[in-house]
Structure 1
Amino acid sequence: MSLFEIKERMDALVKELNQHNYNYYVLAQPTISDYEFDLRLKELEELEKQHPEYQDENSPTQKVGGDITRKFETVRHKWPMLSLGNTYNEQDLRDFDERIRKAIGSNFEYVCELKFDGLSMNLSYENGKLVRAVTRGDGTKGDNVTTNIKTIQRIPKTLKGSGYPDSFDIRGEVFMHRAAFERLNNERLEKGEVPYANPRNFASGTVKLQDSGEVAKRPLDCFLYFLYTDKRLFNTHWESLQAVSEWGFHVCEHNKLAKNIDEVLDFIHHWQENRFNLSYDIDGIVIKVNNYSQQQELGFTAKSPRWAISYKYKAEEVETILENVTYQVGRTGAVTPVANLKPVLLAGTTVKRATLHNANEIARLDLHKGDTVFVEKGGEIIPKIIAVNTVKRAPEAEKIQYLEICPECGSNLVRKEGEAVHYCPNDESCPPQIVGKIQHFISRKAMNIDGLGDETIEALYRKGLVEHISDLYILHERTDELRNMERFGEKSVSNMLDGIDRSKQMPFEKVLFGLGIRYVGETVARKIAKHFRNIDSLISASYDELITVDEIGSRIAESLIEYFKDSRHIDQLEKLRSAGLQFQTEEKEVELASEKLAGKTFIISGVFEDYSRDELTEIIQANGGKILSSISAKLNYLVAGDNMGPSKLEKAQKLNIPIISDSELMALINQ
């Protein structure tokens, strides 16, 4: 390459790698594998060594790979969070070992640790209490996510035992177990939301949520692995791990003390074979010199310690044949393509199917029938096709076209602008949607009907006893048919009917969530029920009224309007109402703190720094004020925060309605 081409290549690598870092650390949505990233990074490092005059100050070789989000307070790390040098090559480990020996001699040990595929976290403790949790960020400063991290049960808020310093930091990795990931991702798919690619992304996305109540619902875990103190307490890293475990920290039980590089390699080989038996993902092994004095002697480079290195496992990849593509219809009508493969052994299991996500993925891969494909199962729970071996493609191979009609009911599929997923709109007659909708309705988080399970619903549907949710509430009229069904004894029928009858007492928010309206999850259903109070107000609500509700954006508002426009849905709601279900929120008597706002009406819109919208609603009502659902001439005040919709602002200004901040609201109360 000419010098011009070298400079151009270096600039392109800097730009590409910085974007990948942003995708990985900030968006938690990586678009290439770790292995591909590391190859590009090594290429850039080599070019920079050969041509230091072209080195960019923004090069990812000069800093840790993260960035700072705008959502949280930025906090500077007392001890920088450096990244580790890494390798996929065993000879590199032997070379690393040789460099250590040249520097400090042969009298040293290594600590081998699993390299968890999660989100790096720094925890600060003072007087035995957790005071701050900060993400890696750019290595020198990160996001303060303390409130969210305090929801993780494994992280001690108060230490036990004794011997810990008054003030210290401890580093660890926040992660999600695979079983939790699968369950939560299935819930996202049911709602028609895009699933996370792997547990690491889900854990990262969860920690970055603004609602700590939502974080608490997602089971995260955390391993701690490095202690930082002003005054050294221990001689070795191994001793510190034993101590922090006694203080209450969750330390991985698979750590190993190794006497030499051969024992390190034995550890690496063992976990290369056994890593898939763990309940969580690892992507390699971390090797650290054990003695702290020796660590100090070895020192650091600009971005990583010289006394530690990580060995990364390359994601397992195999070649097999794509036999065909089938399609699954979920309860919300979302249609998911699945690649059916010639069975092949991958990562210790036989793989027959791989996810294809949506039509965009099929187009990206340019799939043809009978293609030879590369399948990977690294950080992914579900195997995925990463590429096609076009050299082996038959000349007459037919290009795979995404389905146009529902494979279950024959309805024309729809795909809304800006969405990746195709839907079957026939939610009242499409079998998997009917069964899935009723299964969702009876589930624990919705109506929680005892005596009914998913298999029972399938059996009742096959027998023609239920085709709609409302049919559950007339099953008591068909007891003879129920008793004649296989495995339906007198007691099980009685328990089922009792459970259905008790469900009539479930509150409005549970009924609303149980209806399975697309994008209306548990939290959104609760906020809607609290705001509109009853089903009739919700049915008649306009788009502008809907988006005034906290957490309801255009997508949810449009979905609600579309749902209630369908006469079949209204008919079902009337049948459920006649059956005695709760379609109204119980009015709670508000204890008035004052009557300072009596006779005044308010709408709250936007995001506030010191209060949630629910808190402001309670404050207004507690002082005699009333919350309206839409902007009109009857409105006295619009309480406006950041990111308020421009249409609301424009309407309020046209009607000359006073627009006040949350602090001005407090002034009205306190004056």
Structure 2
Amino acid sequence: MNKQQARERVEKLIKQIDDLRYRYHVLDDPRVDDAVYDALQRELKALEQEFSDLKRVDSPLRRIGGQPLPAFKKITHEIPQWSFNDAFSEEDVRAWEERILNYLEKELGHRPADLDYVVELKIDGLHIVLTYEKGVLKTAATRGNGTVGEDVTHNVVTIHSVPLRLREAIDVIVEGEVWLPTPVFQALNREREKAGEPAFANPRNAAAGGIRQLNPAMAAARKLEAFWYDISRAPQPIASQEKELKRLTALGFKVNQQWRHVRTIDEVIVFWRTWEKKKDKESYWIDGVVIKVNQRAYQDVLGFTGKAPRWALAIKFAAEKGTTRVRDIYVQVGRTGVLTPVALLDPVQLAGTTVTHATLHNFDEIDRLDVRVGDTVAVEKAGDIIPKIIEAFPKLRTGHEKKVARPWQCPICGSAVTQPAGEVALYCSNKECYAKELENLIHFVGKHGFDIEGLGEKIVEQLLDEGLIKDAADLFTLVAGDLNGLPGFAERKAEKLVAAIAARKRVTLNRFIFALGIRHVGEETAVALAQHFETFARLRQATVETLEAVSDVGPKVAQSIVEFFADKKNVVLLGKFEELGVGAQRAQRPEPLVRGPLAGKTVVLTGTLVHMTRDEAKERVRAAGGVVSGSVSKKTDYVVAGAEPGSKYDKAQQLGVTILDEQAFLRLVS
């Protein structure tokens, strides 16, 4: 075969493979079996290997995964990526309709009689923006802060429901949701548990983890899917949301076909309630529905407010609840020595998962709920993620239930337990407590710290138990020979782990600060410290006074940081890091603050939020221009209090800080 013949054959193969992909992944109408599809791909691969200059950007072989990238690049969105305002009740939905009708009446001089809606399922996945030029995929980016996202093109091309070339040669920007099928999610967690790695809390986290891999082969292994629902830039205007969804399908995109065109708000509410009951029957997670004004002309009149379109609304599902029995209550010891009671439950199905554990936060919470071993309790998964006990049923007691006593000895090392003044938490007093050492190491290598690939909790525990490491610095002295012979470690696995550790000797300053596990210094405070001091050396030299000048640092946090750097054990550890070349890169300059209702404001979150996760609430604060703090001080502007708020709520009352409940917070950021 000469080169011209090869070029023509490559062209034909790409067209054939793409057409089969479109029929299988978009139309759900497979025309051939997998063997035929695989044979076409093998033929294309052979031609690309023989004629390397015939490789094209729209080649379906890009989906297999290319070479790993050194780092993610940033992409500035051409079209701002808006989020939706939320509704949680029928009253909220009807109030939204009344608001938009009033707005249209004000702008048009009359209430439109032909206003109708499209209602779609709200897929619980990762928002992705695709940009096409002349029909060929140019970039794929995450939402990020709405203005700037991360370039994840190398991973998104591995998803079969993402067309590499459209069925028309046009310039277009499309938005959608990447998600992980529930069976794949369950299998992935089983594999992670076998490997000693922590299980993903939900498919959204697993999907996000797959997309944010530097190695596209790992993303391809996740078997991700995607639904596409919005054209934010098109060559010609599209008259309605209904026509836009049909246009997406015609271009080659996979659209969730459960959407409906409805005439009244009553039909919207029926759709919402129907899917709330059957959401667990699909292979993807759904956390609500989205209602959109159908007519584009009315969308244009309604426009946007703050960070959300007036013409759309996300209607969330209620948190799932169930009843079960408390089999036992045991105590976990965290990296700071804090003792946390955890309830072991009879298995109960909630949000499509089996729940067997629920946190009780602290012993004051046990007293407040009057929870006992053997009790029948109500359990809730707020936001489909966090299991918690919300009520005990004393009337169902048999007389065999047992009260849980407050421990005054550490359950791990037997040392005395202390309770600092003004805190509800109990702490192990032993600095050498095994549980503290283990949890500190797990914290150090975790996703917000050094994020070392392949180094999960069980492997860290194994290394500590075998005496191969005593502290985090020892990780960077390991050689493959140290691991050979350990259970579960073949030679190749040992080499890969040692290489992964060596590759993470340098991380960003905020990651390094967070990884050290300084008491009271969470992820947000670490970012604030990194942005303020810019180098680790400056941070080490800081006094209580200079630390208190940082936006997220109060007297207690400042004192904790100073004490950490004065502690002899920590001085030795930091010295070992320096000798090994382990440490921080220079911190990046902070991005300009977003203008919004919380511009320049400091916000603290406490308690359990019902309608969003803690991370989602943080994202809303930042999107509104605010800064999230981990502690309450005189510098705090707002405290957002969810269910069962802790000591932060009490301190806010003492200092006269404005306290918002969840609904007030949502109204403020909307």
Q: TM-score, normalised by structure 1?
A: 0.47
Q: TM-score, normalised by structure 2?
A: 0.47
Bigger relative contact order (CA 8 A; separation at least 6): 2
Larger Rg, first or second structure (1 or 2): 1
